[in-house]
Homo-oligomer: A and B are copies of this chain.
Amino acid sequence: MLKPLADRVVIKMLESEETTKSGIILAGNAQEKPQIAEVLEVGPGKLVDGKEEKMLIKKGDKVVVNKYAGTEIKYEGQNLIIVKQDDILAIAD
């Protein structure tokens, strides 16, 4: 299991098929290509004055992220990405 540090989050990009099923197709400009992903692991929060700041998202959330944000990692056969929470734009209910 990957335990992200601080305000980092482990996500898994959803396939276009899944994306379409939920009614969401993403198009981005050159700077930032958004995509939809599922949140697999959530860090404990960034340290602010020695306390962990509450995270805004939770495991299982479907979220909109910027495609080039974060770091790709292949883990137990899955293509995952570790991003900072600030690279997550919205939760897709």
A contacts, CB < 8 Å to B: 1-6, 8, 10, 23-29, 31-32, 34, 41, 43, 47-51, 53-54, 56-57, 64, 66, 68, 71-77, 79, 82, 85-86, 88-93
Residues in B neighbouring A6, C-beta threshold 8 A: 56, 86
B-chain residues with CB within 8 Å of residue A25 when the two chains form the complex: 74-75
Count of this chain's copies in the oligomeric assembly: 7
**How many whole Å from A30's CB to the nearest CB in chain B?**
10
Report the Cα distance A64→B43, complex, angstroms: 14
Contact of A34 (CB < 8 Å), options: B5, B54, B72: B72
CB distance from A79 to the nearest CB of B (A): 8
Q: Is the CB of A53 within 8 A of B47?
A: yes
